[in-house]
Structure 1
Amino acid sequence: MKRSALLILSCFLTFQSLAQQVDRSLLIKPERTNYRETSTYQEVIDFTSLVTKDSKYVSKVSMTTSLEGKDIPVFVLANPKIETPEQAKASGKPVIYIQGNIHSGEVEGKEVVQILMRDILTGDKGYLLDNQIILFVPIYNTDSNDKMEAGRRPSQEGSPIETGIRSNSQGWDLNRDGMKMETIESRGLIQNIIVPWDPTLFVDLHTTNGTWHGYSLTWAPSYHSAGEKAPYDFTWDRILPEVTEKALDKHNVHLGPYGYYYTRREGWPIKSIYTYNHHPRYLVNQFGLRNRMAILSEAFAHERLYQRINSTYAFVSEILEFTNKNGSEMLKINAQAEQDAINLVKEQGGKVQKGVRFQMAALDDPITAYRTYNHMETTNERGQKTYLRKPEIIELKDVVNYSAFEATKTATLPKGYLIPKEFASIAEHLRMHGVKVTELTKNKRAKGEIFTATKLERSNRAFEKHKMATIEGSYAASNKKFGKGDFWVDMAQPLANLIFYLLEPESDDGLVTWNFFDEHFDSNGIAEKPVEYPIFKYFEIK
């Protein structure tokens, strides 16, 4: 055989060995349409039913049923099979939760979860179940997924051609509902999955809204704010750097830190990037208050759907590689953070201050080489200086990364809170979050502080159907008696930091902010006189 023929045969055999044999029935909608279309709800249900059929490694649980009657399935992948939270806890393995389609226009997470389920259950990634339990949620926002039209996501430039809408069927953004929990989906997620299954790591899959950075995907950890720092540190220092390196080495995919930049503010080249808000209304951030790890994934909107699927797949698969190797260490870090939160209450309750309002700040270390599309300076039709994107990607040196938060307002961490029986709805809301709340059967005398509000302002424009409230006032020492039917929240429990952020009246994302106490303040005449906040913060109780 001639050398040229041998070379051709060698190349053919090489390419043939790279080809992955996939049963056509196990192709997802984008694969079958050359990545022009995304999966409908029924197509996700049909695919996941097929790929999990007869598998000895999968159980299916329901998160909840949506307003339009659609089940939100959660697939539990484990070896050996796990069917209940109790079995998961008894296994000693970390639970890794991965969610797609919180915003129905951001579709690649939904598709990647399906592909990963296929690769783990029928392909070559079954070993990812050796040391962990994976909870896959391919289609969180079920109702809005099928409300598809073209042009809904302009930054995605028609790839796919049609997408669903951002909000759920009740008109709320599911990623702004973490504290108020008004949506059916959020309540199902927290009550039926997060509280009982207690994920070690929560991963939420999104697409950016348009900044022309030079990464195929950007990431962020859970910004802990008032929470414990260790889970954040491990995510920032260990998980994200290793996953970023592996994604480049193994998949040739560039990952980097999440952030926006503003040429109008800084000119070109830009000098800084800015992350999103610290508020725990965002699900990823709330995990910082739950002493758990979480990661935000944001595929680059301007790449085509097949590229976004590729980068998201690289990111999530490398996260699962990391957690499969390091899950035991992650469990220990989270457990210690939980104990640290409890110990702080026991040892420093009534003495130490914690942040309740925050502002964005720069990290100590700048980004040494920040990838971005280049820009050129020009003028617009009005003669104003502006910047237009160029086609090449460059690296900018020493870009300041505004991905830290510092407290602008603090409050004393208490030993606990007492809630009058008239506010039973507040006690119930805490319970939905997983907080232990005790209804009193006998009198309790407490020494602590009462907050008196002197002013309550509401925003002029509604956000998520709320005119957000900001309160002004001060604490003063007080003694109070509470009796049968009132509610007692002892802060020496795992969710101490979440309780603090929810109940502190001056919190920038607490229940006062979300109008839970408006009726109380209005009916007691806050517009004309000071009004006491009804939740009592105690330092001693008998």
Structure 2
Amino acid sequence: MLLTFFSFLSSLLFSTTAPDWNTPYEKSKGTKTATYQECIDYYQRLDEAYSEIKMSAVGMTDAGKPLHTVVISTDGDFDPQSIHRKGKAVLLVQNGIHPGEPEGIDATMMLARDLMQNKKLKAQLDKVVLVIIPIYNVGGALNRNSHTRTNQNGPESYGFRGNARNLDLNRDFIKADSRNALTFATIFRTWDPEVFVDNHTSNGADYQYTMTLIPTQHNKLGGALGHLLKNSMLPALYKGMEKRKWPLVPYVNSRGELPESGIFGFMESPRYATGYTALYQTLGFVPETHMLKPFDQRVQSTYDLMLEFLDFTAKNVNNIRAARAKDRSAVRQQQEFVLNWAPDTTEFELLQFQGYEAKYKPSEVSGQSRLYYDRKAPFTRTVKFFDTFRPTITVKKPKAYIIPQAWHEVIARLEQNQVDLKRLTKDTVLTTEVYYITDYKTLPRPYEGHYLHTDVQVRQEQLPIQYFAGDYVVELNQISNRFLVETLEPQGLDSYFAWNFFDSILGQKEHFSAYVFEDLAAEYLKKDPKLKAALEEAKAKDPALAKSARAQLNFVYQNTPHFENTYLRYPVTRWQGGKLPVK
């Protein structure tokens, strides 16, 4: 009986003991970052303790483990559509895309807890729902070490930049080679966030700042949101971080080793997280803490910056939503789209930049002159900041794109992005706008698993094309218009053509034997004076052609019905006509 009483007393004492909500980072006094399992377990505990928090496994990653979201919604509503109908904004925070840069992982764990336990902070969630991806690159987080971030000051150990397939996931948002990227597309398109934050750590020059920031490039974002970003949100973030004793500076993207020579805005193409999110009119940010600052300072500045994102979004939710609605309405009607940009070096802002003097001394390795930054010689200097970009390639949108069903890898990516697709209901011949690839350059070495094409040149023709029931029609009257144009136009910097999804059209399938074609070629030249004149003109302009019998035969061959008209013909065509037989 006495034993039973003491057991009861012990259980009562145990049950009233306050739970320990300190994170692994806090328990280590700022020297360690949470492991993948510690992170997931911590959020699971928050889910169990607070009805306002819901953790879900959304989809799979290349590591064979799920990708999680943690949603913090104070009214217990976890339905994205319902949340948007209520006029709330969604703030999506992603951590650990590069797990060797883990500040966001630890800062967001603390933030989620504090939002539940601090009434003043929690009040901001009346107008904002916070969605967290605890660790995006699960495979990289599991590949833990203490050495691969060679230039970084802590923590004691961390994850690896490459994922389970050794992909850099911050180059994968369009090509989506990873399961991670496919799952992210589902998360992003489902939650449709007004604001997106992707936490990182920098590399590069040494300077006084702990936190730098890459916002979505305002020209590329454009419209009302681009104006709000540049003239309202960024000034507020800079002012707020100044008050918190973490002065901000644009990400130090300089054209040389010395930042004082000028800083250039970062033009994030759609392969990058914020380049991708901009396609859907989302305000995107990449905080980049400085690699050489102590880990605890990097974590704290990340925590404070996320508070600033939350604060601005909560205070300006109506303005953000109104600007976004205006831009989304405009993009449905927009007729011309930009495929590539270049910095305008004639326009710049002046920044007061706090750096360290760059000096040189003999290298103890090579004996040659080497750069170092003298932290005993800080300075504040006026620096030019070039953050205006101009379009270099633009294209008018078609009424629709037609994609043969054979290109299923492209179709799968459109479906993952929740693009509205229709299908032809019968076999039919349609006269469409067709591109032929006339020139392109290809990287000599693989880049993220692909031999990327650049400087793509095209010519356009009107041709009758045979289509079949089940081929896809993508109408350009949806909020996905920017995504569609920038991926399906072959000259887009991160188009599916650039990423090799259509490379089989670049190989000629049929050829000729010269000794057989000689007589046939002679007959064509006799019967077609225009062809003979074109050959003579080409020979006059090109000495190499004039000296090569084979090249001359090939010239004739390419101008006869024997030459395959699918060679270099881009399979995605542009439809400008009337109604199509679709469902």
Give the structure-2-normalised TM-score: 0.81
Residue matched to 1:535: 572
Residue matched to 1:65: 60
Q: 2:212 aligns with which of 208, 218, 222?
A: 218
Residue matched to 2:199: 205
The answer to whether residue 342 in structure 2 is matched with residue 359 in structure 1 is: yes
Residue matched to 2:517: none
The answer to whether residue 318 in structure 2 is matched with residue 300 in structure 1 is: no
The answer to whether residue 247 in structure 2 is matched with residue 254 in structure 1 is: yes
How far apart, CA to CA, are the structure 2 residues paired with 1:371 and 1:538?
54
Q: Summarize deviations over 1:453-505 as a string: whole Å, max 9, x none.
A: 13454211111011112333312344556452211111111010110000011
Q: Is the 8 A contact 1:75 1:136 kept in 2?
A: yes
Residue matched to 1:319: 309
Q: Is the 8 A contact 2:349 2:386 kept in 1?
A: no
Q: Gaps spanning 5+ residues in structure 1: where?
A: 1-21
Deviation of the 1:54 alpha carbon: 3.0
How far apart, CA to CA, are the structure 2 residues paired with 1:480 and 1:236?
46
Q: 1:522 aligns with which of 496, 502, 507?
A: 507
How far apart, CA to CA, are the structure 1 residues paired with 2:374 and 2:33?
30
Deviation of the 1:408 alpha carbon: 2.6
How far apart, CA to CA, are the structure 1 residues paired with 2:346 and 2:84?
36
The answer to whether residue 156 in structure 2 is matched with residue 119 in structure 1 is: no
Q: Is the 8 A contact 1:52 1:121 kept in 2?
A: no
Q: Summarize deviations over 1:353-397 as a string: whole Å, max 9, x none.
A: x33233333483323312222223556688977643121432211
Give the structure-1-normalised TM-score: 0.87
Residue matched to 1:236: 230
How far apart, CA to CA, are the structure 2 residues paired with 1:24 and 1:308?
27
Q: Name which of structure 1's ranges 365-374 and 182-191 shifts more when overlaid on structure 2.
A: 365-374
Q: 2:359 aligns with which of 376, 383, 397?
A: 376
Q: Is the 8 A contact 1:444 1:541 kept in 2?
A: no
Residue matched to 1:245: 239
Quick one: which amino acid aligns to residue 255 of structure 1? Answer: L
Q: Summarize deviations over 1:204-243 as a string: whole Å, max 9, x none.
A: 0000013213321111222366654332332222112101
Task: Report the 3-state secondary structure (helix = DSSP H, G, I; strand = E; otherwise coil) of the residue aligned with 1:476.
Answer: strand
Deviation of the 1:63 alpha carbon: 2.7
The answer to whether residue 152 in structure 2 is matched with residue 156 in structure 1 is: yes
From the CA coordinates, give the structure whose radius of gyration is larger.
2
Quick one: which amino acid aligns to residue 179 of structure 1? Answer: I
Residue matched to 2:401: 417
Q: Name which of structure 1's ranges 299-308 and 209-218 shifts more when overlaid on structure 2.
A: 209-218
Quick one: which amino acid aligns to residue 144 of structure 1? Answer: G
Quick one: which amino acid aligns to residue 329 of structure 1? Answer: N
How far apart, CA to CA, are the structure 2 residues paired with 1:523 and 1:37?
56
Specify whether residues 507 and 222 from structure 1 end up closer, same or farther in structure 2 by C-alpha distance, changes over 3 A only. same
Q: 1:343 aligns with which of 324, 330, 333?
A: 333
After superposition, where does 1:41-80 map in structure 2 within 5 Å? 41-80=36-75
Task: Report the 3-state secondary structure (helix = DSSP H, G, I; strand = E; otherwise coil) of the residue aligned with 2:165.
Answer: coil
Q: Is the 8 A contact 2:218 2:229 kept in 1?
A: no
Number of equivalenced pairs: 507
Specify whether residues 198 and 524 from structure 1 end up closer, same or farther in structure 2 by C-alpha distance, changes over 3 A only. farther
Quick one: which amino acid aligns to residue 375 of structure 1? Answer: A
Task: Report the 3-state secondary structure (helix = DSSP H, G, I; strand = E; otherwise coil) of the residue aligned with 1:410.
Answer: strand
Q: Name which of structure 1's ranges 196-205 and 141-150 shifts more when overlaid on structure 2.
A: 141-150
Q: Gaps spanning 5+ residues in structure 2: where?
A: 1-16, 512-550, 559-566
How far apart, CA to CA, are the structure 2 residues paired with 1:472 and 1:316?
43
Specify whether residues 52 and 538 from structure 1 end up closer, same or farther in structure 2 by C-alpha distance, changes over 3 A only. same
Q: Summarize deviations over 1:259-312 as a string: whole Å, max 9, x none.
A: 223555xxx683211344431100111122112211111111111110001110
The answer to whether residue 270 in structure 2 is matched with residue 280 in structure 1 is: yes
Q: Name which of structure 1's ranges 510-519 and 369-378 shifts more when overlaid on structure 2.
A: 369-378
How far apart, CA to CA, are the structure 2 residues paired with 1:122 and 1:116?
10
Identity of aligned residues (%): 25
How far apart, CA to CA, are the structure 2 residues paired with 1:363 and 1:374?
27
How far apart, CA to CA, are the structure 1 residues paired with 2:510 and 2:353?
53
Q: Is the 8 A contact 2:47 2:55 kept in 1?
A: no
After superposition, where does 1:460-539 map in structure 2 within 5 Å? 460-470=444-454, 471-478=456-463, 480=465, 482-522=467-507, 524=509, 531-539=568-576
Task: Report the 3-state secondary structure (helix = DSSP H, G, I; strand = E; otherwise coil) of the residue aligned with 2:385.
Answer: strand
The answer to whether residue 135 in structure 2 is matched with residue 139 in structure 1 is: yes
Q: Name which of structure 1's ranges 473-482 and 460-469 shifts more when overlaid on structure 2.
A: 473-482
